[in-house]
Structures are given as structure tokens and as C-alpha cells.
């Protein structure tokens, strides 16, 4: 099965968000972790600013194939970031932080397969 990769940028002031998204792992070595719905999440690094007034931008890749359970994957990601994220960018498109828009982006990627 071929895999799809979807870039995710998360703008946040929550310094613990990356640790939380990775399930408490202190290994930030780009090893995939299991996300919901048979998807995987890979941490790709962060852009941090010298000024504490500017948010951190965390880079992730969501990896999935046609067996992904879209509602479960969307819910997993939403539950991780809700209330902790200022901006969410999926595949180059800024979206609202809600399950429906996350699901729509994943479904669109699957339909373009």
C-alpha cells in the first residue's frame, strides 16, 4: 500500500504541545508515532523565535494510506491540539481548528489518490 504524507504546521505558544502530541516521548528523532485511525505522525522540527511574544511553529507530517479511519484520525489530532493552537496549516492551507475541517483535508487527500 502506498502512503500519503500531509504536512502540518502548528503555531502555538504552548511549550509542552510537542511533548504531548508525541505521547510523552522525549525522543524527537523523527520516529513515527501511532496517531488515531491507522495514521502515523512524524515530528519534523520547530521554528522558535528569540522573542517570547511570537509563537513557536511546530512541523509534523501525517502519514496514512487508504485504510485510514478518517473520523478517528481527525478526532485524535483535534483532541491533541484543541485549545493549545493559535493556527493550523494542513498541506499549505490554513484551516480552523475543528474536527470537520481536519476530516475534509484528509478526505480530499484520499480522493486525489
Domain ranges within the chain, ordered by starting residue: 4-111
Find the mean pLDDT for residues 60-80. Answer: 93
- The pLDDT value recorded for residue 1 is 62
pLDDT at 52 over 80: no
- The pLDDT value recorded for residue 29 is 63
Question: Percent of the chain having pLDDT more than 90?
Answer: 54
pLDDT at 89 over 90: yes
* Residue carrying the nine cell digits 524527537: 28
Q: How far is it, in rounded angstroms, from Cα 2 to Cα 109?
A: 13
**Burial of residue 11, with CB atoms counted within 10 A of its CB: 0-12 exposed, 13-18 middle, 19 or more buried:** middle
Q: How far is it, in rounded angstroms, from Cα 11 to Cα 2?
A: 29
Among 1.20.120, 2.50.20, 1.10.530, 3.30.70, what is the CATH number of 4-111? 3.30.70
- The pLDDT value recorded for residue 104 is 93
Question: For residue range 1-51, what is the model confidence (pLDDT) as tens digits?
Answer: 689 999 999 999 998 888 888 877 655 667 888 898 999 999 998 888 777
Amino acid at each position: 500500500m502506498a502512503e500519503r504524507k500531509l504536512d502540518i504546521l502548528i503555531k502555538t505558544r504552548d511549550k509542552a504541545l510537542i511533548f504531548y502530541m508525541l505521547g510523552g516521548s522525549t525522543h524527537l528523532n523523527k520516529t513515527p508515532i501511532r496517531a488515531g485511525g491507522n495514521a502515523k505522525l512524524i515530528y519534523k522540527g520547530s521554528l522558535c523565535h528569540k522573542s517570547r511574544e511570537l509563537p513557536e511553529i511546530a512541523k509534523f507530517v501525517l502519514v496514512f494510506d487508504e485504510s485510514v479511519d478518517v473520523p478517528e484520525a481527525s478526532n485524535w489530532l483535534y483532541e491533541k491540539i484543541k485549545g493549545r493552537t493559535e493556527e493550523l496549516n494542513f498541506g499549505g492551507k490554513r484551516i480552523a481548528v475543528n474536527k470537520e475541517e481536519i476530516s475534509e483535508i484528509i478526505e480530499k487527500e484520499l480522493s486525489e489518490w
